[in-house]
Amino acid sequence: MRLSRSFGKTLRQAPSDAETASHQYLVRAGFVQQVAAGIYSYLPLGWRSLTKISNIIRQEMDRAGAQEISMPVVQPRELWEQSGRADTFQPPLATLVDRRDRKMVIAPTHEETTTFMAAANLESYRDLPFNLYQIQTKFRDEARPRAGLLRVREFEMKDAYSFDRDEAGLDVSFKAMAAAYHRIFSRAGIDVRMVEADSGPIGGKDSNEFVLLAESGEDTIFVCSDENCGYAANAEKAEFKKPVADAEEQGELAEFHTPGIKTIEALAGFLEVPVSKTVKAVFYAPETSSGGEIIFVSIRGDLEVNETKLRNAMGGAQPRLATREEVEAAGLVAGSASAIGLDAVGGPRSRASITSIVDDSVVNSPNLVAGANRADYHLKNGNYGRDFTADIVVDIAMARAGDPCPGNCDGHLVEHRGVEVGHIFKLGTGYSEAMGATFIDEDGTEKYPIMGCYGIGIGRLLAATVEANHDERGMVLPRAIAPYEVYLAGLNTNDDTVVAAAEKFYDELTAAGVEVLFDDREEPPGVKFNDADLIGLPLRVVVSARGLRNGEIEMKRRDADEATMAPLSEGVNAVKAALEG
C-alpha cells in the first residue's frame, strides 16, 4: 500500500481527553476515529490490525475444536426475560421497539441466543460436547467510557460457548479454552496473568480473567508475594486470611455514653482500643429498590466492604448506599447503629424490610464495641451468636495490599494495576435450565447441558498490546498484529534515481509476500521518520541517494536503537531476515 493513497492522516497532537498511551497513539497514527463517547470507527490501518488479531483468535479457537457461527446483534427481549436477565443486566440493556411493536435488545453478549440455538439442535448425549464461537459486534451502554478502546460502548468481541455432558467435561473444555487464550495473547505480543475473578452479570460459579499488568489499567489485581504460591485475583474476587482474634471470655454486654462519636476511628480513639475491636454498620439498598428495603451490613471496624462480594450475597442485586431518608425511615441511627437489638429497631414492620448481612470477621472476633441503636450510645462486649445473629454470614471484605495471602503459604498480597483482555466462565446449567435446553443421557434420563462462556474484546486486545509495546515516539507493534510488516521510505523524492529504486524495491518486496507500507509522499525525511515511529511497524527500510551510492539500503527495527545497512542486491532476503530476527 502506498501511503499517498492510504486513507487517514497522522496527527501531531493527541486528543485532549486521551490519557493512556494506546488512546493517544491509535488516534494519532490514524488507526481509529472517535464518533461518540465510547464509539469508534476503525480506519484502514486499524482495521488491518483488528483483522489480524481476529485471524489469530480464529486459528486458535479452531485448533481447540470450537466451531465458528454468527448470531444477530438485535434479539427479541423475550429471550432475556426467559433467562431472567432482562431487568438485571448491568449496564442496563439497550432496547428498541420494531415496527411490529415487538421489544428488541441490542445484545451485549450472547448466552441466551447460543442456548436457544443449542436447544433446537441438541437431542442426545452423543451430540455433546461442542463449542460455538463468533467474532461480532456488541453494545454495552457503559456509564463512563474511557481510555480509548479500553472501555467502550460498541466493540468487536470473540465470544464462545461450550456445552458439556457433565462437570468433568466442562473442566476439559475450560482448560482447553484457557490454553487457547494463553496462545492467543502470546502470539499478540503480550504477557498476561490468569487471575480469579467475579462472574458479574454473566453469572456462573467460577471465572478467570486474563490480565495485562499495566499502570494504565483500570482493574486492581492482587498477586501473592511468594512466587511458588501462584495465587492471583482481581480486587472484586480477592480473598485474604483474616487475622484470628485472641481468645477471650465473653464479657457482659454494657451500654455507655459516647457523646458526638459518629465514626469508627473516633470511637476507637475515645475508648483507646484498636479499630479491629469495633464493628461498624454500613447501610445499603438494592439499586432498583424504591420500597424502603435496607441491607444492614456489619463488618469489623478495620475492614472495608467489597461491594461486588456484597452484590453476590444479595443474590445479584446491585447495591447502593442507602440515603439518609431511607435510613431514618427504617428507624436506624447513623453513627450509633448495630445488629444488636435490630429486631426491636423501628418495630416488626420496619425489621421485615431489613436484611442483616454480617462479614465472617465479626463472627470470629469476641467482645466487640458496637452501636446501641440510640444516638450517642454504644455497647461494649458484643458477641455474635449470643447478642445478635444475621440473615447471611459471608466474606464481604475488601482485600488490601499487605494482607496475608489466602493460599497455603507465608506470602502477602501485592497490588498491581491491570487491563482485562479476556474472561472465561463456568456457567453451569443456569442458562440451559432457563432456556429449556436438554438432552437425553445414556441412561434415558433428560438432563441439562453444562455450559461455559469465553470472551475476548478484539479492540481492547489491540489497545492492550499498545499499552505493553510503545515508547515516547509511538507504537512498537508486534509483527503478528501490525497492519504492515515494513515501512518503506524513499528519501530525496526529487531525485529520479532514488524514486525509481524505491519503486522497484517496493515491487520486489510485495512480490516476495512482504506486507509493505510504502511512504511515497513528497515529505521531508523528518516527517517520514516521525510517522514511521508513530505507526510502529516492525521494520523501517530507507532508500536514499547516499545509500544508493554504496549500493545499500538502511534498515532499522522499531525496537532497535541503531540502523544497519544491507546490499540492495540482497535487499529482499535482508528484510526477511530482519523480520524473522
Question: Do 326 and 441 belong to one domain?
Answer: no
Asked if residue 418 lies in contact with residue 167, where contact means CB atoms within 8 angstroms, the answer is no
Instruction: Let me know whether 439 and 529 are in one domain.
Output: no
* Angle, alpha carbons 545-8-495 (nearest 5°): 15
Is 141 found in the same domain as 34?
A: yes
How far CA 391 is from CA of 175, 279, 295, 308, 432, in Å, comes to 37, 17, 10, 18, 30
Per-position pLDDT tens, the chain of length 581: 999 999 999 999 988 889 899 999 999 999 999 999 999 999 999 999 999 999 999 999 999 999 999 999 999 999 999 999 998 888 899 999 999 999 999 999 999 999 999 999 999 999 999 999 999 999 999 989 999 999 999 999 999 999 999 999 999 999 999 999 999 999 999 999 999 998 776 666 789 999 999 888 889 999 999 989 989 999 999 999 998 888 889 999 999 999 988 899 999 999 899 999 999 999 999 887 666 789 999 999 999 999 999 999 998 888 999 998 889 888 899 889 999 988 765 544 455 588 999 999 999 899 999 999 999 999 999 999 999 999 999 999 999 999 999 988 999 999 999 999 999 999 999 999 999 999 999 999 999 999 999 999 999 999 999 999 999 999 999 999 999 999 999 998 788 999 999 999 999 999 999 999 999 999 999 999 999 999 999 999 999 999 999 999 999 999 999 999 999 999 999 999 999 97
d(CA 215, CA 336): 40
Q: 480 in a domain, yes or no?
A: no
- Identity of the amino acid at 163: F
Q: Using N-to-C axis directions, what is the helix angle for 458-468 and 21-28, rounded to 10°? A: 100
On whether both 315 and 233 belong to a single domain, the answer is no
Contact 548, 568 (CB under 8 A): yes
What residues contact residue 247 under an 8 Å CB cut-off, 6+ apart?
366
Within-domain flag for 91 = yes
Place of cell 515511529: 533
Give the pLDDT confidence score for residue 348 in this predicted structure. Answer: 43
**φ/ψ (deg, to 5) at 40:** -130, 150
Q: What is the 3-state secondary structure (H, E, C) of 522-543?
A: CCCHHHHHHHHHHHCCCEEEEE
**pLDDT at position 345:** 58
DSSP calls for 368-401 = EEEE-SSTTEEEEEE-BTTTB--SEEE--BPP-T
Q: Are residues 28 and 148 located together in one domain of the fold?
A: yes
Which residue has cell 460502548? 153
Number of domains in the chain: 3
Q: In the numeric block, which cell numbers belong to residue 176?
A: 482447553
Residues 365, 496, single domain; the answer is no
pTM of the entire predicted model: 0.88
CB 136 within 8 A of CB 71: yes
| Cell numbers at 303, concatenated | 475492614
- Cβ atoms of 93 and 66 within 8 Å: the answer is no
| Cβ neighbours of residue 22 closer than 8 Å, sequence gap 6 or more | 147, 148, 149, 150, 216, 462, 463, 464, 466, 467, 470
Flag whether 403 is in a domain. no
How many whole angstroms separate alpha carbon 377 and alpha carbon 110? 53
Q: Which three cell numbers stand for residue 224?
A: 501473592
* Domain containing residue 523: 486-580
Asked whether residue 439 is assigned to any structural domain, the reply reads yes
User: Residues 56, 169: one domain?
Assistant: yes
> At which residue does the C-alpha cell 453476590 appear?
312
CATH number of the domain where residue 491 is located: 3.40.50.800
**The CATH number of the domain where 351 resides is what?**
3.90.960.10
Domain co-membership, 137 together with 66 = yes
Task: For residues 247 and 236, give the distance between their C-alpha atoms in angstroms, rounded to a whole number.
Answer: 31
Q: Cα–Cα distance between 193 and 230 in angstroms, integer? A: 10
Residue 422: give its domain's CATH number.
3.30.930.10
Residue 581: predicted pLDDT: 78
434 and 320, same structural domain? no
- Contact yes or no for 452/427 (Cβ under 8 A): yes
Q: Does one domain contain both 235 and 258? A: no
**With contact defined as beta carbons under 8 Å apart, do 150 and 460 qualify?**
yes
The answer to the question of residue 420 being in a domain is: yes
For residues 36 and 85, membership in a common domain is answered with yes
**Which is it for the CA torsion 87, 89, 91, 96, positive or negative?**
negative
For residue 311, tell me if it sits in a domain: yes
What pLDDT does 203 receive?
A: 65
* Alpha carbon distance 128, 413 (integer Å): 41
Q: What is the reported pLDDT for 331? A: 87
The DSSP line for 231-297 is -EEETTT----PPPPPP-PPPPPEEEE-TT--SHHHHHHHHT--GGGBEEEEEEEETT--S--EEEE
CA distances, 416 to each of 217, 240, 405, 407, 420 (Å): 9, 16, 15, 18, 12
Q: What is the pLDDT of residue 14?
A: 87
